[in-house]
Amino acid sequence: MTLIAHSKLPTFERLRAEGVEVLAPGRAEQQDIRELHIGILNLMPDAALEATERQFMRMVGGCNRIAQFKIHLFSVPEFERSEKARAHIEAYYETFERIKRVGLDALIITGANPVQEKLEDEPFWNPMIEIVEWAKRSVSSVMCSCLATHAIVQHYWGIKRYRLEQKRWGVYSHRIVDFDHPLVANINTRFDAPHSHVYETNSRQFRDASLRVLVSSEEADFHLATSEDGFRFIFFQGHPEYDAISLFKEYKREVSRFVTGHRKNYPLFPEHYFSREATLILNHFRDAVLSDDGGKIGMANFPEQEVIPLLDDTWGDTGKAVVNNWLGLVYQLTSADRHKAFMDGVDPESPLG
């Protein structure tokens, strides 16, 4: 329901300007409403660091539960960061040591940019696994996004991701395939969701490992799944947190890489994303770049302002609804008289049924 601005993190002002309810700590303390402490382990690279924190905080802030949310942002020190990103993390993020002292009701782990062929060779692997092991013992539920999903199902269930011949990116139609889980209560039976990944896992691998697939796509395979118990781990392979412009920003970066000679081929469009009008505009720019033998067409002429008003968000409400359902379960399972029973694995009144 309400985010508490317990630091000077700029994202709070950005969300407040969007209409998300954000309370100052003084006002929050006057409210007779229970707090939930939600951690966000942000593993995204510098270019997406702040956008990703906004996206997940927006989804939490859109929850309609009668609760106040304190967001605890943290990352891992193993990443090489720019001076600006390091300064942002040092100013507004917490350390894992402090997170352990404060405690969390639930944890969100973002995706990350894959660099290594083997997940265990990524610089974030060991510190992330340490955090996940702690969360498994100390946090009621962990929600994983994309690459975090791939890492955790490999660590606990031996499920290996595989590399796609071509990057899967676009907006795909999905359908609920398991209607009996409260995470998918009161949402559309069919809805869109963005995907953006080079590596993938699939529904067959999850079911073979006795994991529970809730939402899947004929084109993009699974979008939402859970651990066997239905709640300890929540797995997204898609990106319900994306803004309407997120895939467009990724596309622009790939075009820029081509224009500057860092990739050989001009990028294909994200699938099912651009409207006919946006496609015509972007094709016109592409044709100009490909026919330009004098290097006159550069990214300064990229038609960003013409395309942005043509982009649609066809997934945001459903993503918020799933997160709302998740936080509702967190709220129930972390109440004072039920938390110990849940952590001990004995919860006779569990809402999971």
Catalytic residue numbers read 146, 239, 241
Q: Return the HEC string of the chain.
A: CEEECCCCCHHHHHHHHHCCCEECHHHHHHCCCCEEEEEEEEECCHHHHHHHHHHHHHHHHCCCCCCEEEEEEECCCCCCCCHHHHHHHHHHCECHHHHHHHCCCEEEEEEECCCCCCHHHCCCHHHHHHHHHHHHHHCCEEEEECHHHHHHHHHHHCCCCEEEEEEEEEEEEEEECCCCCHHHCCCCCEEEEEEEEEEECCHHHHHHCCCEEEEEECCCEEEEEECCCCCCEEEECCCCCCCCCHHHHHHHHHHHHHHCCCCCCCCCCCECCCCHHHHHHHHHHHHHHHCCCCCCCCHHHCCHHHHHHHCCCCCHHHHHHHHHHHHHHHHHHCCCCCHHHHHCCCCCCCCCC
Amino acid 84 reads K
**Please, are residues 236 and 226 in contact by the beta-carbon 8 Å criterion?**
no
DSSP single-letter state for residue 271: B
Tell me how far apart the alpha carbons of residues 71 and 4 are, in angstroms, rounded to a whole number: 8
